[in-house]
A = this chain, B = another copy of it.
Amino acid sequence: MTAPEIRILSVGSALPGSPIDNARLARLFHMDKVWEQWVDVFIGTRLRHLARDLETGEQSATLADLATIAASRALSAAGLPSGAVELMVMGTATPDMLMPTTLNVVADRLGINGIPTFQIQSGCSGAIQALELARHCLVGGGFRTALVLGGDTTAKHFDTRLDITSMPPAQLVNLILFGDAAGAALLTTEPSGGIAILHRVSTTLTGLGREPGQTLEWYGLADRGQERPPASENYKAIEESVPEMAAETLRSLLGDLGWKEADVDYLLPPQLSGRMTPIIVERLGLPGAEEVSCVAETGNTGNALPFLQLERALAEMAPGDRAVGVAIESSKWIKAGFAVERL
């Protein structure tokens, strides 16, 4: 049997509020100029948008708010009513609540009903996992149009009452690395129209015997007495593993597609930080491909990132141009990649 070609109709995204620079972050956390320069140089992320007012601690937007905006923009860009959506898949590491799912709240706000919806729990590979699941459902489930979403609002996990000068680096780094955002894409099995072909999506668990590079806790009321950190990052393990895993993902993706390195016009690399991403890009070794990154201006927005990159890439690409995207999930290590061709 021949699988139908899957096309991307549109991509949309949403970033909360104004960008926050490192000088503002330093003021918020009562840190000095040296700290600010350390973030500039050793992290390399200059700006991020946060769905929370760090001065008051108030959430300014929920993940459902951002995802609804991103989805509405994708629907508008495709000129489709929400009633045309036959399937929804969303990836996030940071849902607003455990239940109901953020995706089903978004569906309600978009006026969508009577279809299957799937919210997957994942980190940096989540957007690509959501694209993969949507692709399998479109091919194997008889659906025509899928709305795929991804997003994270990590700032709600920060404990702003803590003195960050005494915070262990594994927690501190979360305050600097992450940004909040959501993204969405519409996929279709219709053989005409659309802006790109989604050639391949592939994700691979590679966590056997590896310690998590990152953990993110939730707390029930019963856990309130505990003092485990809400989020913790093994930045060293990430720095060591991600470039090699990204290279493996790219090799495997090109092999599956039968594409040569010279066939790739655009590269959407993992967006760990303004400093790490160039190291990964160099490791990937695609000198002919134009890099599409946004981490220095948005921070690591987790499940939103591949949508943010894809939106930028598709705006630049000419018909026939090919792009590959790579993301690595470091909490239990998933290699994820996808390939698109501009129509």
Contacts and interface: CB of A to CB of B under 8 A. Distances in A.
A210 B105 CA distance: 10
A191 interface: no
A132 B1 CA distance: 21
Given A100-B212, A118-B120, A205-B117, A221 B112 contact: no
B99 A159 contact: no
A79 interface: no
Interface residues of A, number: 72
Contacts of A99: 93, 121-123, 212, 214-216, 331-332
A101 B122 contact: yes
A158 B117 contact: no
Nearest to A115: B205
A159 B108 contact: no
A264 B214 CA distance: 48
A334 interface: yes
Contacts of A203: 116
Given A104-B205, A113-B206, A220 B230 contact: yes
A133 interface: yes
Interface string A145-166: 0000000000011111100000
A84 B107 CA distance: 37
A100 B220 contact: no
Contact of A221 (B100, B113, B141, B157): B157
A173 interface: no
Interface string A173-186: 00000000000000
Contacts of A214: 99-100
Contacts of A100: 123, 207, 212, 214-215, 331-332
B140 A98 contact: no
Contacts of A97: 215-218
A216 B230 CA distance: 18
Given A98-B217, A104-B332, A140-B135, A120 B120 contact: yes
A204 interface: yes
A3 interface: yes
Given A98-B218, A220-B230, A204 B115 contact: yes
A285 interface: no
A93 B107 CA distance: 18
A294 B11 CA distance: 45
Interface in A69-126: 88, 93-95, 97-101, 104-105, 107-108, 111-123
Contacts of A116: 129, 132, 202-205
B222 A160 contact: yes
Given A111-B208, A136-B136, A224-B224, 9 more contacts: A100-B123, A101-B121, A114-B205, A116-B203, A118-B120, A119-B122, A157-B222, A158-B220, A219-B221
Interface of A: 1-3, 57, 88, 93-95, 97-101, 104-105, 107-108, 111-123, 129, 132-133, 135-141, 156-161, 202-210, 212, 214-224, 229-230, 331-332, 334
